[in-house]
Amino acid sequence: MLKPEGQLIIEDLSIETFDNNLGKIFRKLLYHPYSAMYKHEEFLSYLEKIGFKIKIKKVFNPLDFAIL
């Protein structure tokens, strides 16, 4: 539960995280329900739909550092 005007910080991976070459390797090696993951914009839309106001959004892909 948040106080009125409280802030919530969420960090999660979206399906786009696994679109680059390294991510594709992880998809083959690791068991994970990738098809159930949200796309980045779908997740933000869902949060807004349930009443959250997005004030700041930052996109960071931890797998982008690798060039394969």
User: Residues 7-30: pLDDT tens digits?
Assistant: 888 887 888 888 878 888 888 888
DSSP state at residue 34: G
Residue 47: Cβ within 10 Å count: 15
What is the mean predicted confidence (pLDDT) over 60-66?
64
User: What is the structure's pLDDT at 68?
Assistant: 45
Average pLDDT, the chain: 82
- The answer to whether 15 touches 38, Cβ cutoff 8 Å, is yes
Alpha-helical runs (H) found in the chain: 21-29, 40-49
Say what the pTM is: 0.64
What is the mean predicted confidence (pLDDT) over 46-50?
93
